[in-house]
Structure 1
Amino acid sequence: MNYSEYMSDIISDIKECLNELGTQPVLFIGSGLSKRYFNAPNWIELLEQLQKECPYIPHEVGYYLQDGVSLEEVGSEYTNYYRKWAWENRDKFPNELFDASIPKSSYIKFMIASILDSITPDSIDSVQSEHHRTEIELLQEIQPHAIITTNYDLFIENIFTDYQSIIGQRILKPDTMSIGEIFKIHGSTSEFKDLVFNKEDYEIFLKKKKYLSAKLLTFFAEHPLVFIGYSANDKNIQRILSDIDEIISTDGDLIPNIYFLEYNKNITENDIPPREKVLFINNKEVRIKYIETKNFDWVYEAFSANKAWDNVHPKLLRALLARTYKLVRSDIPRRSVEVDFDIIEKAVSDEQSLPKLYGVAMLDDPSQLNLQYPYNLTQIGQQLGYSNWHSANRLIESIQRNKGINIKETDNKYHILIKTGKTEMHKYSKHTLELLDAVDKGEEYKLEL
């Protein structure tokens, strides 16, 4: 076996997992992704840069690490130096940060946001490496159900522009819809004062971590979960995986839907990396699937095998869920809307009826669409012996005058409207051809919508 065969096995396993669960992947993204695509600093590098920016900090990061001080505690130490520097050099920070109600950590967090925002690409086109731009396009093609990240920077938002950011503690609110959202569990530079950065921040975060894990449990149980840009030794990841193991109770068995993607620049064609990773967390074994690679493109491509969201904007799905949630949670109990419960009961008991209630047409096999509706209106006209679409359209208008029904206004057995972005395309079935042929010949006809 060689690395090519290893890749083939991994791809087959990913596709099998996607087919088995029937859901889109959830991406768990760490700082390694930002490091890969625009050389963003990792945690130690960020602390080192913060130390260089502030003349009041007497020691480099290594000085504290030699004494066994944690990175969170170094962050707390630097926080105090930044506050002293800011109050004695107020021109270097925004005036609003000097209000008495502002947390003392706001000064160093302002600097963190400034550093990251200054180097974060605002689009794929701003990424320097052509190979990396191709990888990012393949990452987009995954069309993840949701994204979870501990990153502060806005890079993910800039490449998944239709997704909605849910920042910090707002993740715990009940009205988050989960689909098409970016859960920024450690905060964002867009709201820098709430970044999880120093020891005090992490203590608060850890108190609420179990609530966060419970909130995200459905992701872990129902979707392929892909960790990208993390080290297996990352404490944040180990804490999350520990919660998963505790909730799901794997008892050391392989968790079949969790993949850990790790970069190895030294991979060669003769290498055969391990297929699993065993982590020892809280004296327990947690086994997850492991992918080791130099190039991420083939992995992203494998996870994009299910194109469930083609031509559907995540924003639309969120709006649909949000309105349904409000309807069930508040409007109906408060009787602020009139409800026909018979219609709802029939709809929820039938897989085909509920989508129709929302105005959604179900198509089990999208490839069958052209077989069911093979014609545009010009082709219909040509099949009837005319040279263009106008004559066919006049026959449709004749039906509307006689029957009061315009077959082009809805999706039905004769017609379907396909929307691709801002483009709309009307397609017609063989039933349309038979119907318009009868109208053209002056024969009796019956509409069956």
Structure 2
Amino acid sequence: MTDYDKYTEDVTDDIKTCIDAMNCQPILFVGSGLTRRYLSGPSWEELLFSLSESCPEIDKKFAYYLQRYPNLVDIGTVFSEKYNDWAWGEGEKQFPAELFGAGNSSDIYFKYAICEIFKGLLEQADNWEDREIELLRRIHPHSIITTNYDCFLEIVFPNYTPIVGQKILYANHSSIGEIFKIHGCSSDPSSIVINREDYDNFLRKKKYLSAKMLAFFAEHPLIFIGYGAEDPNIKTILSDIDEILSENGELIPNIYLLEWSAKEVTGYPRRERLISVAENKSIRIKSIVAHDYSWVYEAFGANQALENVNPKLLRALLARTYELVRSDIPKNPIQVDYTVLSNVSSSDGELAKLYGIADVSGGLDFNTNFPYTPSTLGISLGFKGWHDANKLILILKSTSGIDIKSFDNKYHCAVMNGAQIQSHRYSNLLRKLLEKIRDGDEYELDLPR
């Protein structure tokens, strides 16, 4: 066994352990490197260079703009103005007539040109049967977050719903099967974030976006794909959430950065990355170094619970069950006919009949009896998140011989998706019990052995 074989084995075991412990599908956070890998897409600088070559109003060499405007956002601002001048002059025929109507911002022509580049990349792509792409698809992620403009992910995951730009702020984040396009999408030029005004608007809303993403990051395995360790997009997101996810500089155990190696790896690469997110402020996440991504995708796709389930159907079910709770805790697996579910998910009231459950107004108030998600349980105990709370649960298991998470009881209840566990919820009784364990007090688990 080579050093790298040992590395892949160790990392694969770590990924599977993380997924088993969190008992849910991973989140993918995707950057431009993925588009470059499969579509030969441009970097941000390469994109701006290409756009400079297409507009006669940009009459200086691209190096001039790099020298004068070190921040690429400011080059985007200058080019937006140049494209506007071109569109209202000799370049008018290069743009659709509707872009000249009222209601369009002056940067719409520049953004339209960007969208055309990424649409062209998709039209030229011919490697949809690539083994890596198929393995990527088999991950069946809970959701995907991306800063990319292109629609590559929509093709790889056709049953996932794209949510673009500011619409993310109003999305229901308890759902599943969505692609959050935080910097806009080539399907809607006006949504593209590319110039100074766009980024200022994005940064003003960044805190709200990060707050909505926090539950994802705290309760799911997360893998960054297509970013470098110094990518500002990673730093921007992690800088807002590190105080919740990382305590005293400890390694965040559920966040991975997939780093591309230009050549085949032969040694035993690093397993962790220290990422500086601000002055005198860094966080530690797990690193995966690979030239061939196949084995990494296979590791994250090891949990096949969602393999035969349509994410569109799951979203419909979750929407219908938002105010529904179980009137009784099932002890046996539920056999699910997905054809029936597909029909009843579009009919008000029918889903409750199918599951034998009632609205909260007429039955057991599930949210009152089991108010804590894993992350909120940890926070209620004074921790930064779920991981330290789970350590106390493991202590409880070792001392009592009972794994409270393995069945439904007065301390824990599993939210089911058919025979599969969708998530875990915990009661105030458990919180009080874990407080005693945390404080070193005597405690007793009130369950039959």
TM range (shorter): 0.7 to 0.9
Deviations 1:154-186 (A, max 9, x none): 000011000000100000005455310000000
Letter in 2 for 1:8: E
Q: Distance in 1 between matches of 2:144 and 2:417?
A: 25
Deviations 1:310-352 (A, max 9, x none): 2211101101112233779xx99xxxxx958444558997988
Query: 1:298 and 1:71, CA in 2 relative to 1: closer, same or farther beyond 3 A?
Result: same
Is 1:362 paired with 2:419? yes
Q: Distance in 1 between matches of 2:416 and 2:301?
A: 27
Match of 2:332 in 1: none
Query: 1:258 and 1:63, CA in 2 relative to 1: closer, same or farther beyond 3 A?
Result: same
Match of 2:106 in 1: 104
Asked if the contact 1:252–1:284 (Cα under 8 Å) also holds between the matched residues in 2, the reply is no
Q: Distance in 2 between matches of 1:118 and 1:363?
A: 41
How far did 1:81 drift? 0.3
- Output aligned runs, 1:197-208, within 5 Å: 197-208=194-205
How far did 1:246 drift? 2.9
With 145-154 and 306-315 compared, the bigger mean Cα shift is at 306-315
Match of 2:313 among 311, 316, 319: 316
Is 1:120 paired with 2:116? no
Letter in 2 for 1:58: D
Match of 1:238 in 2: 235
Match of 2:165 among 147, 157, 168: 168
Match of 1:273 among 269, 277, 282: 269
Q: Distance in 2 between matches of 1:194 and 1:200?
A: 12
1:325 counterpart SS class: coil
Query: 1:4 and 1:98, CA in 2 relative to 1: closer, same or farther beyond 3 A?
Result: same
Is 1:213 paired with 2:210? yes
Query: 1:359 and 1:301, CA in 2 relative to 1: closer, same or farther beyond 3 A?
Result: closer
Q: Distance in 1 between matches of 2:281 and 2:248?
A: 8
Query: 1:18 and 1:203, CA in 2 relative to 1: closer, same or farther beyond 3 A?
Result: same
TM-score, reference length from structure 2: 0.72
Deviations 1:33-77 (A, max 9, x none): 010001011101100110011011022332222235310000000
Match of 1:304 in 2: 301
Deviations 1:357-398 (A, max 9, x none): x9964368xxxxxxxxxxxxxxxxxxxxxxxxxxxxxxxxxx
Letter in 2 for 1:323: R
Query: 1:201 and 1:360, CA in 2 relative to 1: closer, same or farther beyond 3 A?
Result: closer
Aligned residues: 347
2:242 counterpart SS class: helix
Query: 1:120 and 1:346, CA in 2 relative to 1: closer, same or farther beyond 3 A?
Result: closer
- Output aligned runs, 1:48-447, within 5 Å: 48-88=49-89, 89-120=91-122, 126-128=125-127, 133-269=130-266, 271-282=267-278, 283-325=280-322, 341-345=361-365, 361-362=418-419
Query: 1:359 and 1:284, CA in 2 relative to 1: closer, same or farther beyond 3 A?
Result: closer
State the superposition RMSD in angstroms. Answer: 2.7
Q: Distance in 2 between matches of 1:99 and 1:90?
A: 13
Give unmatched runs, 5+ long, in structure 2: 326-347, 350-357, 371-406, 410-414, 422-449
Look at both structures and tell me which one has the larger radius of gyration over its CA atoms: 1
TM-score, reference length from structure 1: 0.72
Deviations 1:72-110 (A, max 9, x none): 000000000000000013211111111242101100100
Asked if the contact 2:164–2:191 (Cα under 8 Å) also holds between the matched residues in 1, the reply is no
Give unmatched runs, 5+ long, in structure 1: 333-337, 365-449
Q: Distance in 1 between matches of 2:303 and 2:315?
A: 20
Q: Percent identity at matched positions? A: 48
Match of 2:383 in 1: none
